Amino acid sequence: MATQTATLPAAVPASVGVLLPAFTLWWREVVRFYRQRARVVGVILSPLLFWIVIGSGFGTSFRSGQAAGQQNYLDYFYPGALVMIVLFTAIFTMMSVIEDRNEGFLLSVLVAPVPRTAIVLGKVLGGTTLAAIQGLIFLVFSPFVGIHMTLASFGLIVLTVFLVSFALTALGFAIAWPMDSTQAFHAIINLFLIPLWLLSGALFPLSKASQWIRWIMYANPLTYGVEALRTLMYPEAPSSFSFEFSLTASILTLVLFALFMFGLAFVLANRRTTKPAA
């Protein structure tokens, strides 16, 4: 064997490592996204519409309540809308895991000498990048809701957006990995992810909710993302915004959430199955 193939260059190095394959998968994720213009427009415009339409609608209806005060409901809703952009981008980006599987792309990655860690890392960081960029683009509107950021608070906002993006993308990966149909994925989004967002304090404050809803909101990691952003954006906010957690506690919770989700995605992707799909 050795003699007849010796004329070929020894192209493949002994160890491929994690970084190069992870980089290339990340790169593909990002390039693909921006080559599909409809997707780019969709993820920016739909939450913007959502923010303005729902925010204005709710704002007027609930004006009588003390939550509104002189602070516009649009302001209150702003961090929630940002988290929504991040959620949608992160989750929909990970739908590509299912598409990749149904085409042959994922197979060609799985037969390459690439550690599964690199696959999870590349994919998740790709989705994270897109989600975080989309979220940060939304910050363009922040002057309209009277948000004045210092360099420090801007840095912390970027960190929070990154953490939320990473955790949600990893969650999306973990959901998408065992699936073979995008329809089922949509079902999960409606059943699980939309409620996750609704009960994150994005639409209504924690303190105003009934007891059992509050418990759900405490258990919901997204609550901490929304809280952290709101704390950073409105440092001198009225009491009606009801901060319950310190910024540090929120961010630490997000870090744990992100690590847990990545760990879950990692474990799922590392299972070697006897089933045909993976």
Partner 1 sequence: MTSNPSAIALAPPEAPATQANSAVIAVRGLVHRYQDRTALNGVSFDVRPAELFGLLGPNGSGKTTLFRILSTLMVPSSGAATIVGLDAVRQPGALRRHIGVVFQAQSVDLKLTAYENLWHQGHLYGLRGPELKKRIEEILTRVGLLDRAGDRVETFSGGMQRRIELAKGLLHHPEVLLLDEPTTGLDPGARRDLWQYLQVLRDEEHVSVIVTTHLMEEAERCDRLAILNEGNLVALGTPEELTREIGGDVILLEARDPQSLADRIRSKFHVDASVMDTHVRLEIESGHRFVPDVVEAFPGEIQSLSVSKPTLEDVFIHRTGHRFWNEEGEAAAETGQKKKAKKR
Catalog residues that contact partner 1 under the rule CB under 8 A.
1-2, 4-17, 20-21, 23-25, 27-28, 31-32, 35-36, 102-105, 107-115, 180, 272-276, 278
Q: Which is nearer to partner 1, 80 or 127 (CB)?
A: 127
Quick one: which of 174, 148, 134, 141 has its CA closest to 263? Answer: 174
Question: Using CB atoms within 10 A of its CB, is residue 130 exposed (0-12), middle (13-18) or buried (19+)?
Answer: buried
Q: How many CB atoms lie within 10 A of CB 36?
A: 10
Q: List the structure tokens of 74.
A: 């649009």
Q: Contact at 8 Å (CB) between 131 and 226? A: no
Quick one: which of 270, 16, 266, 261 has its CA closest to 121? Answer: 266
Q: How far apart are CA 20 and CA 25, in angstroms?
A: 9
Smallest separation (angstroms) from partner 1 to the CB of 93: 14
Smallest separation (angstroms) from partner 1 to the CB of 102: 8
Smallest separation (angstroms) from partner 1 to the CB of 29: 10
Q: Contact at 8 Å (CB) between 124 and 118? A: no
Contacts of 124 (CB under 8 A, 6+ apart): 166, 169, 170, 173, 262, 265
Q: How many CB atoms lie within 10 A of CB 58?
A: 18
Question: Using CB atoms within 10 A of its CB, is residue 154 exposed (0-12), middle (13-18) or buried (19+)?
Answer: middle
Question: Using CB atoms within 10 A of its CB, is residue 13 exposed (0-12), middle (13-18) or buried (19+)?
Answer: exposed
